Chains A and B, each alone.
Chain A
């Protein structure tokens, strides 16, 4: 029809896949529960529902949803249902805050450091130089002992001993992060072991650095892209390091500029440690900076279709001039908090032999997901596809296994070393581009 808009089916495929880390009312209880149950029944990529008797789940939990007195109780029932699937990317984003939630009302302030579980120790792995922790003297390698008098050991003891390490990493991080964050300008009391003695510090929570990005129902995220040029220490070779914290559209132009900056480097390192994912479709654009052909990194398998996440070769630089994609060696750094779209990218690039992966095995939460608004206003995140890399590797529940595993060692952190980055630099230096 003249004047009618064109229906471009591809345009709808934003392909959201984001690590499900929602912060957390019982109006329309049964209706909301039934809607969530039905959406999953009709859209789950696996018609066998991962072996779960889905009608039986409804028969068991439906009456509880109908009896829920508060929105928080209803959400607990729905989350119970989602948990039965045993898969990532089935989550609930509340339209408001849980009334019974134990988290502070405002989580916009951040103390400015990151932690990872190493054995039974929670170690500081990164300190933001502009954050409150840096001002308080906190350094990588310090062991976190308590947060506002809550011993880390008590948090760890709440986790089942049978919980797989991969899930334990994510759950511990989530529990601690929830307590570390709070209103901007507030302070959090922390106790550390600095390697020689116990140190108590009060750390100011500051605004999270980065450009705020809000996409629809997703919570606001702060986009950060950092670059640095490093010498590899081998044959005078250099490498460009590009770090970004989330897959949001604001990343793409900055990543483009970074690739332009490092076109003559001997290699490029994409640091995805701590990056929990974002908009999955972006992996097609970012991977295109390193590929000259529309190679599929992997396939999203839904119940009745297969969609390929194929690289879009980036043949134009940020100045609009024709260029060739970067042809040198590419290293990707991952760790236990690398999730979702980051895993699709890292696992996909690894599978086609275009990148070598360094670090620790990633989250294993890599299911492309869509959103659906429920009758009570909450948003259901539900996986509609399974992601399988080009060589047939399923990442969900497995993660990206590095080509070169590099364990986090406290002594190295205390010495100011980043052994994962060093391993990648060494490899690039040895490639002799």
Chain B
């Protein structure tokens, strides 16, 4: 498993090595010195969406919306539950395909797909699921990362952005883009493990709207291997999630030895 993961990561690492020298090439240059720190860019985003206190005041969320794969002509329902510290359940339903569920109850990571059946996550898949399940993920707590580095000011999806590298403690890294004018997060490029191996995706976050006390991106576009998936949120409810929603389904329990 370890060897597979290492070889599987070869591709994204090539891309990352292409980026790293840009940041390290001339650290003392005037350009680098003029760039704001990654922490300050993230903190500005946090302030723009409602502030750290408003985020930390939340205990759970329930989002409802739609998911679509335009090229395949598919549009369905999307429902996502999250609770602190790190529980989540996401349910998508596509006509002709059926319902897919992904969950994490703080310990057990799992998925149930009408295409591949129930699956218990382990190894790197479970590790990634646990990391991403953090309810306050977007605060980018420094103890969760090895380093946060501003790489450059560039453009992303036609917007002026700061590009930030987030190096995780396990060596994996993501690139995130924050709008230099609005301060809001504009998107990310990340590689995630999947049952089929590592996949690189580009995520763009748009249509920020106020849901309760927080500003949220109502539209998330994900592009993987030339296929685009659009997730649109229509409502978000806070603090009313029944904890039982995160219970591991019976067919997943049966997989746990």
**Contact residues of A with B, CB < 8 Å?**
1-14, 16, 39, 42-43, 213-217, 248-249, 252, 256, 279, 281-282, 284-285, 288, 294, 300, 302, 304-310, 312, 314-316, 320-322, 370-373, 379, 384
Q: Chain A contacts of B113 at CB under 8 A?
A: 281, 285
C-alpha gap A179/B82 in the complex (Å) = 55
Q: Is the interface of B mostly helix, strand, loop or mixed?
A: strand
Partner pick for A8 among B72, B90, B117, B233, CB 8 A cutoff: B90
- Which residue of the partner chain B has the closest CB to A372? B71
On whether the beta carbons of B73 and A312 are closer than 8 Å, the reply is no
Instruction: Kindly identify, within residues 111 to 154 of chain B, every residue whose CB is under 8 Å from any CB belonging to chain A.
Output: 113-119, 132, 135-138
A315-B255, A320-B251 given; A5·B90 CB < 8 A: yes
Interface extent on B, as a size class?
35 or more
On whether the beta carbons of B214 and A288 are closer than 8 Å, the reply is no
- Which residue of the partner chain A has the closest CB to B75? A216
- Shortest distance in angstroms between A213's beta carbon and chain B's nearest beta carbon? 6
Q: Chain B contacts of A249 at CB under 8 A?
A: 96-98, 114-115
- Interface 9-residue window, one of B23-31, B165-173, B193-201: B193-201
- 26 cross-chain CB contacts under 8 A: A2-B216, A3-B61, A3-B80, A3-B211, A4-B216, A4-B233, A5-B231, A7-B201, A12-B222, A213-B96, A215-B97, A217-B72, A279-B97, A281-B116, A284-B115, A284-B116, A304-B11, A305-B199, A307-B199, A310-B195, A315-B254, A320-B251, A322-B254, A370-B71, A370-B226, A372-B71
Q: Chain A contacts of B108 at CB under 8 A?
A: none
A216-B74, A305-B11, A310-B195 given; A288·B116 CB < 8 A: yes
Counting CB contacts under 8 A, is B16 at the interface?
no
- Shortest distance in angstroms between A303's beta carbon and chain B's nearest beta carbon? 9
Q: Chain B contacts of A300 at CB under 8 A?
A: 196
Q: Chain A contacts of B205 at CB under 8 A?
A: 4
Counting CB contacts under 8 A, is B203 at the interface?
yes
- Which residue of the partner chain B has the closest CB to A281? B115
Please list the 8 inter-chain residue pairs (A to B) with the smallest Cβ-Cβ separation, ordered nearest first: A10-B194, A216-B73, A215-B96, A217-B73, A3-B61, A285-B116, A216-B72, A307-B196
- Shortest distance in angstroms between A292's beta carbon and chain B's nearest beta carbon? 13
A10-B199, A12-B224, A13-B224 given; A373·B71 CB < 8 A: yes
- Shortest distance in angstroms between B28's beta carbon and chain A's nearest beta carbon? 34
Counting CB contacts under 8 A, is B43 at the interface?
no
- Interface 9-residue window, one of B33-41, B62-70, B155-163: B62-70
- Which residue of the partner chain B has the closest CB to A288? B117
- Which residue of the partner chain B has the closest CB to A385? B225
C-alpha gap A379/B72 in the complex (Å) = 8
On whether the beta carbons of A216 and B254 are closer than 8 Å, the reply is no
Q: Chain A contacts of B73 at CB under 8 A?
A: 216-217, 371, 373, 379
Q: Chain A contacts of B71 at CB under 8 A?
A: 370-373, 379
Q: Chain B contacts of A309 at CB under 8 A?
A: 196
- Shortest distance in angstroms between A124's beta carbon and chain B's nearest beta carbon? 32
- Shortest distance in angstroms between B57's beta carbon and chain A's nearest beta carbon? 10
Q: Chain B contacts of A305 at CB under 8 A?
A: 11, 197-200, 225
C-alpha gap A256/B88 in the complex (Å) = 28
- Which residue of the partner chain B has the closest CB to A10? B194
Partner pick for A302 among B82, B217, B225, B255, CB 8 A cutoff: B225
On whether the beta carbons of B115 and A12 are closer than 8 Å, the reply is no
Counting CB contacts under 8 A, is B206 at the interface?
no
